[in-house]
Structure 1
Amino acid sequence: MHNELDIIDNLAELKRFLLSVELGSLGLQDVAGIGMATSNKDGRHFIAVFDDNQKLLLSRYVTDDVYENGKDMVRHGVQTKH
């Protein structure tokens, strides 16, 4: 997984992360999807960015609160104001 200090612990930070992925500012290539999951190893929640072959490109741990309350944001994307 990713650095322990890189835990997303609030919805504003989750939104920033999602926007960074959506806008391509993280430099990831061939992003096809983003999802939230729970690790089988230790039960911790995380957000993952995948390519077309379901290869993990980037992941960050999230707190329980962000996991529960950020699902719709991940599922539907972040709407930016124009």
Structure 2
Amino acid sequence: MIDDKELISTLDELEAFLRLVETGGLGLNNAAGVALATNNSNGRPFVAVLDDNHQLILGRWVTQEVFDNGKDLVRQGPNKAH
């Protein structure tokens, strides 16, 4: 499920989203990982929250700039204290 209404357009917004996932603030069950990806049908970039079986449980569209520059943030996780 990718929410069309919520576009992550800055690295700060991406970091806040990652922090919410990490702390359970979104109420997701079985969240095991996060990845940046592109939609197969239209190439649009998004951040994906994946379960233990690598299935998408939540996604948010991101701008191309966030996709290009947020890879290390997604790999390493948010740096700021909770």
Using the size of structure 1 for normalisation, the TM-score is 0.92
Aligned length: 82
Which amino acid counterpart does residue 18 of structure 1 have in structure 2?
A: L
2:12 aligned with 1:12? yes
Identity %: 49
2:69 aligned with 1:69? yes
Which amino acid counterpart does residue 78 of structure 1 have in structure 2?
A: P
Structure 2 segments unaligned to the other structure (5+ residues): none
Which amino acid counterpart does residue 59 of structure 1 have in structure 2?
A: G
Using the size of structure 2 for normalisation, the TM-score is 0.92
- Name the CA distance, whole Å, in 2 between partners of 1:3 and 1:48: 11
Residue 40 of structure 1 and its aligned partner are, at CA, apart by 1.3
Q: If each structure's strand is expressed as a fraction of its own residues, which one has the higher value?
A: 2
- Name the CA distance, whole Å, in 2 between partners of 1:32 and 1:77: 13
Which amino acid counterpart does residue 64 of structure 1 have in structure 2?
A: Q
- Name the CA distance, whole Å, in 2 between partners of 1:62 and 1:19: 16
The one-character-per-residue Cα deviations of 1:28-82 (angstroms, maximum 9, x if unpaired) are 0111110001111001000000110112110011000000111100011112337
Q: RMSD of aligned C-alpha atoms? A: 1.3
Q: Runs (4+) of structure 1 moved beyond 4 Å?
A: none
